[in-house]
Amino acid sequence: MPVNTGAETRFYIGPRLSAKLTTDAAAALTLLKAITYVEVGEVESIGDYGDTTNDVSFAALAAGRAEHLKGLKDGGTVDVTIGFDAGDDGQLALVDAYNDRSRFDYPVKIVYVDGNVDYIAVKVMGNKKTGITTGDVVKRVVTLGVNSDIIEDAGV
C-alpha cells in the first residue's frame, strides 16, 4: 500500500464509554466500530500518538551492569489543533468530554484518506484557545490522555 499525506484525514469523537475498554483487540474493535461518532470540524493537526514503554532498570551487584526491562505502557497525551468554531457539534462534544469528570473514557476515531482507521480510548484533559492575534486564526487545542492501545482497522 502506498504512503499518504495527512490531507483528508478525519477525526471523530464518540459518546462516553460505560465501562473500561477491553484489552482484547478483536472485541474492542467490534465494540468501537458499532459506536456512532460525531466528526470534529476544522481539525488542523493531530499530534504524535502511540505507546512508549517505561524503562525499568535493575543493577545486580555481581553483574556490574544495569539491565533494562520493559515496564508499563504509556499512551501519553496527544494535542489536537482545531480552527475554533463555537457551533461545531464535534468541538462541542470535545468540550463536553473535557467537562465530564467520569472515570470512563471517550472513544475517538481517526480515519485516513486510504480508509485505514485508528481507534483510541481517551480522556479529554485540556481545552485551550490559542492564536488570538490579528494575523492568525483563533484555534482550540484539545489535549487527549490516551488510556488504551491503538486499535487499528485496515478494513479498506
DSSP 111-139: E-TTS-EEEEEEEEEEEEEE--STTS--E
pLDDT at 64: 87
Across 82-102, average pLDDT: 96
Per the listing, cell 492568525 goes with: 136
* Rg of the chain, C-alpha, whole Å: 18
Q: What is the pLDDT of residues 37-69, one digit of tens each?
A: 999 999 999 999 999 999 999 998 888 899 999
Amino acid identity at 17: L
pLDDT at 156: 54
Q: What is the pLDDT of residues 109-141, one digit of tens each?
A: 999 999 999 999 999 999 999 978 888 999 999
Q: How far apart are CA 150 and CA 122, in angstroms?
A: 11
| pTM attached to this predicted model | 0.90
Ordered by where they begin, the domains of the chain are 10-153 (4.10.410)
